[in-house]
């Protein structure tokens, strides 16, 4: 019989091996990989299902902080590296790993948990709902023209890795406090995840390029990208693979996209994580040339409903009483009264009949302001009278859509 426990340094190599195998890889076995693992993972939050001396399942949590509507920063247990070996499927290992993880997040007092789902059919049953979405964008640079011209005094410069880090960190921090869904990045996170450029991570593409946009001597945006050369009958058909674009001004956003779509020999541009409210399609004369497909991104589970709901701000005032049903706790239900005045919330557990009923994953879907309560009600995911559903939608919805910049 297997048991679940946190790992030690002695378990780390086996853990990394089984984790990589769970996602179909072989993993890096060099000392640099061990150093990165120690720097990023917290051993007291990294756990495994052991069957004798072997590891048959892995899991962990990052101690993250996420920006919520209104700019407040909320601690989040970042659910990560959940795998089960193919020899032990359908034996309750996943359920045991998740139960252990959620209990640990609750014990730490983190009001929310979050993840990027390897399979979207799995995590609703544990109370997570998709709270942010992204567009996968594909652009034909040969057919794109920018709708406006830009001030020639602005400049785009390429920086090497060492010079880029302090510059792009400064821009990221300026945006993070204003953009819902963005994560606080620690020094280790920057050094060992974001600025590390391990060859095995490149997928046959170049090292990372760092382009920064300058206005009046100040950097107001950056783009991180890779390139992959390709030729068809001596005609260049190279690819620009955009990793991240973060800007503080409209000019920087437009200027960086003008740069990314006009690199000689690289007419195909792909961005895996374009915000769904990004103005890029409106920056070009033919928006059909920016082909987009919608994909879920950060999933959220509320661990402490009153604390989580009181942490964010709201763009409308009102009140609603709702019941949540938690599939991760055998369908246990609880009822809460949410009252919002001047954008600030008071949420309390109450008794009595609710106005609305929803599962915990639906509440997670709504939490960051990008969810749609009206659509959820039409799908049968929220039950209640129409005025209360509309009130719930007005309370939770925000004008700006949340965006999470990275998978963890």
Given the residues 123, 225, 336, 396, the one annotated as active site:
123
- Helix extents (H) in 80-237: 93-108, 161-176, 187-189
Of 128, 213, 222, 408, catalytic: 408
Dihedral of CA 215/220/226/232: which sign? negative
Q: Which two tokens stand for residue 401?
A: 């859509």
Nearest CA among 318, 276, 317 for reference residue 137: 276
Closest CA to 77 of 115, 119, 47, 124: 115
Task: Name which of 164, 246, 161 is nearest 206 in CA terms.
Answer: 161
Tokens of 77: 């247990």
Please report, for residues 4, 71, 167, 329, the alpha-carbon distance to residue 170 in angstroms, rounded to integers and kept in the order given: 40, 17, 5, 42
State both tokens at 266.
């690289």
Establish whether 271 is a catalytic residue: no
Could you give the CA distance from residue 384 to residue 391 in angstroms, rounded to a whole number? 11
Examine the residue annotation and report whether 123 is marked as an active-site residue of this protein. yes
| 3-state secondary structure (DSSP) of residue 100 | helix
Please give the positions annotated as active site.
Answer: 123, 408
């Amino acid at each position: 019989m297997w048991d679940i426990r946190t790992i030690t340094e002695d378990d780390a190599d086996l853990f990394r091996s089984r984790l990589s195998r769970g996602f179909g890889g072989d993993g890096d076995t060099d000392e640099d990989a061990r150093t990165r693992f120690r720097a990023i993972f917290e051993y007291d939050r990294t756990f495994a299902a052991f069957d004798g001396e072997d590891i048959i399942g892995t899991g962990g949590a990052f101690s993250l902080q996420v920006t919520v509507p209104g700019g407040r920063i909320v601690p989040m247990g970042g659910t990560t590296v959940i795998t089960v070996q193919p020899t032990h499927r359908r034996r309750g290992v996943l359920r045991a790993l998740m139960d252990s993880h959620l209990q640990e997040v609750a014990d730490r007092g983190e009001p929310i948990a979050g993840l990027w789902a390897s399979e979207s059919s799995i995590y609703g049953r544990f109370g997570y709902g998709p709270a942010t979405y992204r567009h996968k964008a594909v652009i034909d640079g040969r057919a794109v023209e920018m709708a406006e011209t830009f001030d020639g005094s602005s400049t785009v410069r390429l920086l090497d890795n060492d010079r880029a880090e302090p510059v792009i960190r400064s821009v990221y921090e300026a945006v993070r406090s204003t953009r819902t869904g963005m994560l606080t990045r620690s020094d280790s996170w920057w050094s060992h995840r974001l600025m590390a450029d391990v060859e095995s991570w490149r997928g046959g593409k170049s090292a990372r390029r760092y382009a920064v946009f300058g206005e009046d001597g100040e950097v107001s945006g950056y783009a991180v990208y890779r390139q992959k050369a390709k030729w068809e009958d001596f005609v260049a058909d190279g690819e620009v693979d955009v990793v991240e674009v973060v800007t503080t001004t409209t000019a920087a956003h437009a200027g960086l996209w003008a740069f990314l779509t006009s690199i000689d020999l690289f007419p195909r541009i792909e961005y895996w994580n374009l915000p769904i409210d990004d103005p890029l399609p409106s920056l070009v004369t033919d928006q059909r040339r920016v082909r987009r497909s919608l994909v879920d991104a950060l999933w959220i589970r509320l661990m402490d409903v009153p604390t989580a709901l009181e942490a964010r701000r709201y763009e409308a005032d009102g009140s609603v009483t709702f019941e949540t049903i938690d599939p991760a706790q055998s369908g246990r239900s609880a009822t809460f009264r949410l009252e919002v005045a001047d954008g600030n919330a008071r949420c309390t557990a109450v008794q009595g009949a609710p106005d609305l009923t929803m599962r915990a994953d639906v509440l997670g879907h709504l939490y960051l302001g990008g969810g749609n309560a009206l659509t959820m009600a039409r799908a049968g995911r929220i039950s209640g009278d129409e005025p209360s559903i509309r009130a719930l939608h007005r309370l939770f919805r925000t004008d700006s859509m949340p965006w999470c910049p990275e998978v963890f």
